[in-house]
Structure 1
C-alpha cells in the first residue's frame, strides 16, 4: 500500500469535504491533479506539494470552521488533530497569499505567529499555480478567468473580493513565473 503523505492527505480531505462540500472536494481534487503535473519536476517535494494541494481548502469543512477563515482552520486541524508535517501545515495556512486575506480579517498576527510563511519558493509558488489555475469544479482554467470567477462569486466589496483584488498582481506574477518554468508542451492553463 502506498503510504505517502499525499495518499494520507487525499484520504483526510475526502473524509472532510466529499460529503459536506462536494464542489469544494472537486476543486481540491483538481488542484491535486495540477500538483501531480507540476510535481514531476520537483523530485523530493512532489509528494508534499500534492498533499498541500488536496488539503489546501480542508478548513472549509463545517466541523472545522472555527474562525471562519479556512487557511487557519485547516492548518490548526492538521496540526492539532493529525500532528501533520510542519511544512505541510504552513503551506495550507499560507496558500495563495492567504496572509493578505488574514490582514483583511484582522487575523494577520495570528497567522504570522502560528504559521510563519514558508521560505520555499518552489513549493509556495507551485501551490499558488495549482490553486489559481483550477476552477471550483476542479477543471483547469487560466489565472485571469479564476480571478474573475472569484470576484464574481464573492463580490468585489466582500472580504474575499478586496483580498483577491489586492493579491491579483502577486498571483498573476507567481503564475507567470511558474508557467515560464514549465516545458513548452503541453500547454498549461
Structure 2
C-alpha cells in the first residue's frame, strides 16, 4: 500500500520546515490539524485539504525562498521537484488570498499565469479558514485575532501589513462561509 497524499505532504513539510523554521513548522501542524477536523465535511477532498494545509507555508523554507513570496516559491517547489497534484499545487499557490499579496509584490500576473485559482470555492475557503484560525504557535484562534497578529508582527506599513488589511474582508467572509457550512452539516 502506498503513502497517502496527507502522509507525503506531512513528510515534505517536516523535512523542509522543522529544523530551520521551528515556529513555522508548529503553525503548519496546527493548520493541518484544523484541516483534518474539517475532513469529514469536505468529503472526497478532505485528504487534499489536509495535504494543502500541511504544505501551505513550505515556501518559507530558506532553500526554497527564491522570490521571497512563499506561496509562489512553495508551489513551484511542489510542481518542479515533486510533480505534485495540480489541485494541491494551486491551493498552496493561492492560499489565504495570496493573489493580493502577489499584487503587492508585483507578482500577480506570474502567480495567475502559473497557478490559476481553483474554481472550487468551498475548498479554497476551507484552506483560508484553517490558516487564518491558527496562531503561529499552532493554537486555534479567531480570524480577527489572527489578522491583528499578522499586522502586528509585520507592521502596518509593511508589504504584508498592507496585504493583510486589503485581504481581511475576504478572509473574514471565507471563514464565515466555512463556519456556516459546518453548522449546516448533518450530524
Instruction: Identify the TM-score tier after normalising by the shorter chain.
Output: over 0.9
Any stretches of 5+ residues in structure 1 without a counterpart?
Answer: 185-189
Question: Which residue of 1 is the match for residue 38 of structure 2?
Answer: 38
Please list, as runs of the form range in 1=range in 2, the aligned pairs for 1:77-156 lying within 5 A after superposition. Answer: 77-156=77-156
Question: Partners of 2:38 and 2:117 in 1: how far apart?
Answer: 21
Tell me if 1:72 matches 2:72.
yes
> How far is the alpha carbon of 1:39 from its aligned partner?
1.3
Q: TM-score, normalised by structure 2?
A: 0.96
Question: Partners of 1:111 and 1:18 in 2: how far apart?
Answer: 26
Q: Secondary structure at the match of 2:97?
A: helix
Question: Which residue of 2 is the match for residue 10 of structure 1?
Answer: 10
Question: Partners of 1:71 and 1:171 in 2: how far apart?
Answer: 16
Change (3 A) 1:2 1:143: farther
Any stretches of 5+ residues in structure 2 without a counterpart?
Answer: none
Greater Cα offset, 2-11 or 140-149: 2-11
RMSD: 1.3
Question: Partners of 2:32 and 2:77 in 1: how far apart?
Answer: 19
Q: TM-score, normalised by structure 1?
A: 0.95
The total of aligned residue pairs comes to 185
Question: Partners of 1:89 and 1:164 in 2: how far apart?
Answer: 22
- Runs of 4+ in structure 1 displaced over 3 angstroms? none
Q: Secondary structure at the match of 1:152?
A: helix
Tell me if 1:169 matches 2:178.
no
Question: Partners of 1:58 and 1:2 in 2: how far apart?
Answer: 23
> How far is the alpha carbon of 1:28 from its aligned partner?
0.4
Greater Cα offset, 39-48 or 26-35: 39-48
> How far is the alpha carbon of 1:2 from its aligned partner?
6.2
Question: Which residue of 2 is the match for residue 179 of structure 1?
Answer: 179
